[in-house]
Amino acid sequence: MTDKKFDLLVYFDRPSEPCFMQKGEQKVVLDIPETYYPEKYKKLATNLSNRFGSDAERSIPVRNIALPNLDLPMKLGQKEQFSLFVPGHRTMAAKLIDIFVGMRDLEDLFSICAYCQLRINPYMFNYCLSVAILHRPDTKGLNIPTFVETFPDKFVDPKALRRAREISSVETPGDRMPVLIPVNYTANGNEPEQRVAYFREDIGINLHHWHWHLVYPFDSANRNIVNKDRRGELFYYMHQQIICRHTAERFCNGLGRVKRFQDFKAPIDEGYFPKMNSFVASRTWPPRFANTVIRDIDRPVDEIKSEVNDMENWRQRFLQAIENMAVDLPRGRKMPLDEETGIDVLGNLMESSVISRNRAFYGDMHNMGHVFISYSHDPDHRHLESFGVMGDSATAMRDPVFYRWHAYIDDIFSLYKHKLTPYGNDKLDYPGVRVSSISIESSAGPNTIGTLWQQNTVDLSRGLDFTPRGSVLASFTHLQHNEFNYVIEVNNTSGKGLMGTVRIFIAPIFDETGQALPFDQQRRLMIELDKFTQPLPAGNSTVRRKSVDSGVTIPFERTFRDQTQRPGDQGTQAAAEFDFCGCGWPQHMLVPKGTTQGYPMVLFVMISNWDDDKVEQDLVGACNDAASYCGIRDRKYPDKRAMGFPFDRATPSAATLSDFLRPNMAVRNCTIRHNDTAPQDSG
């Protein structure tokens, strides 16, 4: 550990203020080589460093290095929006990531950052530096401040931000009251989709999605950054789980499943008015009116020229590949889609990432779906508008159409899964292990989970450029549930100790019309709640597991990176582990909202044979508590089975979930009961 890597954090403070201004609460200034000042500041260089350095507590010397060619990433204006989904932006970002990752030591990295911070688009700069920090060996364990703190404009109602600015200008830090971020500010009850706005616009969910795409970039000149174990499969699975979770929320709120966005020529029924302002671009995020149709894009400014027909062609090629269970490779070769790796190959083709086996042929279907939708209000740039929220991984989940698009993508993956041989007893059963029951222990009553509204705060000060210093808290309302335990009764009849993987899922029982869900539909709505390895002593035993220990979630304080909750001192192993692990479904959204009367769901548990699941690797020091949706940094995915096992494949012989059960599985009907009263303070 060196101090140098912590210095990089200055670049996450006040992202659009030039880096020669004082940074952070510790009043740091950078001693920047004169040649680094852009033309517009050059004349003032000496003056500026005196002005911002006069009461500084620390000065960081910036090494004068030979600068690489930055023409490509500098093509994007500093006041523009940046989207990972826009091919041109991706290429620029890939180049910049490559430069950051390639810097020979931290001093050089720090130096190139100073130069870039004064010239490069702040969103792109932040993204590329974050990716570099996650992938350079010498920056391991460095805390990247949560994105909501750096760019609160991507998550928070602008009225609340304006109020925060006022407060920071007129009140001293000790006197500042939290600013209230309202709930339900993007539409009223006439818009049915508004019933699930608490899910779509949840800050934690959007942070998770942004973080996931940060950990799994799809473009980089350095293939190792992209080529992670089963990343294509994880793209499929993490987004599939988002769709399951969103569907359950819809059912709890009297909404049906989303209509897949598969007719590219049909109007998109849902409108979305994000009501957010971009600080950097000084623009309002454009809305999409109801019944907008996606159209061919011709935007020279973004170097995009693409036709809706391209999407149709790519889709046809996917359907053909799945039909043939083989993909076309360049130069006429074919590659079979096998049981083991087919989904991973398809995931990379579909997203698509640079490790797509044939981007020229299968194109860029998923990313361009985001692009077509996000430019549907101004496909030829005649109104000089930038992209809508679907164009940014930090904001895309706010828009109802996100779920329609990803549900369709998921349907295509599911066509492939349907082609696979159903799991037989050899895969499903675990001879010698009998699960007699699963139940829920909670304060809400037996087999009942209580949900409620809770209020919490996030510190906005880091993102309020050009305002006086000191913390400015914003208080927001989010869904929460009371902690509960799973209690699983197991009988190991083998006569010796065994190891098992416990897999816990929950799913709706009825569809939107009140009909019992057939198994083939219900299995696709199975939400993974937890997965863990468990020693099973011979004979009867009881496994008791806390909801907060879930293998899909990270704790609330880690989603929001409340620095007061950090364990250990800065630089210690404990702090380092805490720091990296920002990817993970937010714990407060583990279970669906339920209803005030009590929403019926079915809880499922399976114990599989660990010998068939285990991946031999050293996990010491690895962040692995939210591995199901995020994998483990620099390690293999820690479960050999297909993601979503045992529900990822169809089982035509089972009409109901009961038909599917084996002796090593158990189910329990349970109830999610929502307390719809004013939010409780988390404190």
Question: At closest approach, how far in Å is the CB of 356 from ligand CUO?
Answer: 14
Q: What is the largest CA-CA distance in the chain?
A: 82
CB of 276 to ligand CUO, least distance (A): 17
Active site residues: 351
Within a 10 A sphere around the Cβ of 15, how many other Cβ atoms?
A: 19
Shortest reach from residue 393's CB to ligand CUO, in Å: 6
Token digits of residue 481: 């549930």
Rounded to a whole number of angstroms, the minimum distance from the CB of residue 379 to ligand CUO is: 19
Contact at 8 Å (CB) between 641 and 609? no
Of the two residues 37 and 237, which places its CB atom closer to ligand CUO in the complex?
Answer: 237
Least distance in angstroms from the C-beta of 63 to ligand CUO: 37
Per CB under 6 A, does 630 bind ligand CUO?
no
Residue with token string 């050999």? 640
CB of 372 to ligand CUO, least distance (A): 12
Estimate the crossing angle of helix 106-117 against helix 87-102, to 10 degrees: 140
C-alpha distances (whole Å) from 569 to each of 60, 134, 573 are 22, 20, 9
Cβ proximity to ligand CUO, 109 vs 396, nearer residue: 396
Choose between 398 and 633: whose C-beta lies nearer to ligand CUO.
398
Tokens of 589: 């959204």
What is the smallest separation between the CB atom of 148 and ligand CUO, expressed in angstroms?
Answer: 17
| Contact predicate 451/479, CB 8 Å | yes
Cβ proximity to ligand CUO: between 76 and 396 the closer is: 396
Q: Footprint of ligand CUO on residues 37-56 (CB under 6 A)?
A: none
Residue 326 CB partners (closer than 8 Å, separation 6+): 334, 335, 336, 337
203-213 per-residue burial string, b: 16 or more CB within 10 A, e: under 16: bbbbbbbbbbb
Min separation Cβ 209 and ligand CUO, Å: 6
Pick 423 or 629: Cβ nearer ligand CUO: 629
577 close to 571: Cβ distance less than 8 angstroms: no
- Residue number of the CB closest to ligand CUO reads 396
- Please identify, using beta-carbon distances, which residue of 23 and 404 lies nearer to ligand CUO: 404
Task: Decide whether 388 or 450 has the Cβ nearer to ligand CUO.
Answer: 388
Q: What is the torsion angle, in degrees rounded to the nearest 10, for the CA atoms of residue 603, residue 609, residue 612 and residue 617?
A: 90
Q: Which of 5, 208, 370, 649 binds ligand CUO (CB under 6 A)?
A: 370
Long-range contacts for 35-39 (Cβ within 8 Å, ≥24 apart)? 35/64, 36/62, 36/64, 36/114, 36/115, 36/118, 37/118, 38/118, 38/119
* Residue placing its CB nearer to ligand CUO in the complex, 85 or 604: 85
Cβ–Cβ < 8 Å for 275, 158: yes
Q: Is 90 in the site for ligand CUO (CB under 6 A)?
A: no
Least Cβ distance, residue 235 to ligand CUO (angstroms): 7
Footprint of ligand CUO on 220-259 (CB under 6 A): 239
Cβ contact 158:277 at 8 Å: yes
Q: Total residues contacting ligand CUO (rule CB under 6 A)?
A: 8
Q: How far is the CB of 213 from ligand CUO (least distance, A)?
A: 6
Nearer to ligand CUO, 95 or 213 (CB): 213
Please check whether residue 85 is in contact with residue 366, taking contact to mean a CB–CB distance below 8 angstroms: no
**Does the protein bind ligand CUO through residue 366 (CB under 6 A)?**
yes
Shortest distance, position 387 Cβ to ligand CUO, whole Å? 13
Tell me the β-bridge partners of 435: 490
For β-strands 28-31 and 58-61, DSSP reports them as parallel
Q: Which residues contact 628 (CB under 8 A, 6 or more apart)?
A: 528, 531, 551, 552, 639, 643
CA distances from 168 to 89, 356, 468, 475, 563 (A): 34, 48, 6, 15, 20
Name the residue nearer to ligand CUO (CB basis): 228 or 649. 228
Tokens representing 628 are 């199901």
| 198: nearest Cα among 246, 265, 269, 140 | 246
- Interface residue with ligand CUO among 167, 396, 452, 606 (CB under 6 A) is 396
Beta bridge mates, 306: 297
- SS3 for 485? strand
| Axis crossing angle, helix 308-324 with helix 342-351, rounded to the nearest 10 | 170
Strand partners, 533: 501
441: Cα within 13 Å, side-chain hemisphere: 10
Nearer to ligand CUO, 396 or 607 (CB): 396
| Listed residue (353, 130, 90) closest to 223, CA to CA | 353
Shortest Å, Cβ 224 to ligand CUO = 21
Angle at 224 between CA 231 and CA 636, to 5 degrees: 45
Candidate residues 14, 209, 230, 250; the one interacting with ligand CUO per rule CB under 6 A? 209
In the complex with ligand CUO, the residue whose CB is nearer, 366 or 404, is 366
Whole-angstrom distance, CA of residue 222 vs CA of residue 171: 47
Distance (Å, rounded) from C-alpha 248 to C-alpha 246? 5
Tokens matching residue 350: 């579909």
Binding residues vs ligand CUO (CB under 6 A): 209, 213, 239, 366, 370, 393, 396, 406
